[in-house]
């Protein structure tokens, strides 16, 4: 019996590690774990089963409704291991490390504003940040979700 549990646990870990795990109808784990920094520095960016469940909750409660309203979403940053988070200059208390946050590419300020309005009006969320870099014109939406205690914080951040 003990050996069977170990085999099952190893199989679950392998399934998580290869990224084929479906988090929701339209999102797979690999979209949230693929990281240029992890590849470049040969770092493991595999979430724990607890972090996977948090990512699943984010998908079901925020990202799926957004996708149904606006179409395909491109996740530019999802889960980050502590080491990956440090290398990319993420905040020490980043919710990406917990599997509670994702960054979504937006094609224009108008689309970003519409998406943020939709989230604020229709969905539960912890943080919603419209971020942009003036020098490059890059912009994205950071959204996070917690199982309990969502703060519904919204702000813009210009770099």
Bin 152: left if φ > 0, else alpha if -120 < ψ < 50, else beta.
left
pLDDT at residue 2 greater than cutoff 90? no
pLDDT in tens, 78-105: 999 999 999 999 999 999 999 999 999 9
The full set of domains in the chain, from first to last, is 2-158 (3.30.1380.10)
pTM over 0.75: yes
- pLDDT > 90: what percent of the chain? 83
Residue 19 tokens, joined? 């990224």
Q: How many residues does the chain have?
A: 159
**pLDDT given at position 47:** 97
Q: What is the reported pLDDT for 159?
A: 84
Per-residue pLDDT tens digits for 91-143: 999 999 999 999 999 999 999 999 999 999 999 999 999 999 989 989 999 99
């Amino acid at each position: 019996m003990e050996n069977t549990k170990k085999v099952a646990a190893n199989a679950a870990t392998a399934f998580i590690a290869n990224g084929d795990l479906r988090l929701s109808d339209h999102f797979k784990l690999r979209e949230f774990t693929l990281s240029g920094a992890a590849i470049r520095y040969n770092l493991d960016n595999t979430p724990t089963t607890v972090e996977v469940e948090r990512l699943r909750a984010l998908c079901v409660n925020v990202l799926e409704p957004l996708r149904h309203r606006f179409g395909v979403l491109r996740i530019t940053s999802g889960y980050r291991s502590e080491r990956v988070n440090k290398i990319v200059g993420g905040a020490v208390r980043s919710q990406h490390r917990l599997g509670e946050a994702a960054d979504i590419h937006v094609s224009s300020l108008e689309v970003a504003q519409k998406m943020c309005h939709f989230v604020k009006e229709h969905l539960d969320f912890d943080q919603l940040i419209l971020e942009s870099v003036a020098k490059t014109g890059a912009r994205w939406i950071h959204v996070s979700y917690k199982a309990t205690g969502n703060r519904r914080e919204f702000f813009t951040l210009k770099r």
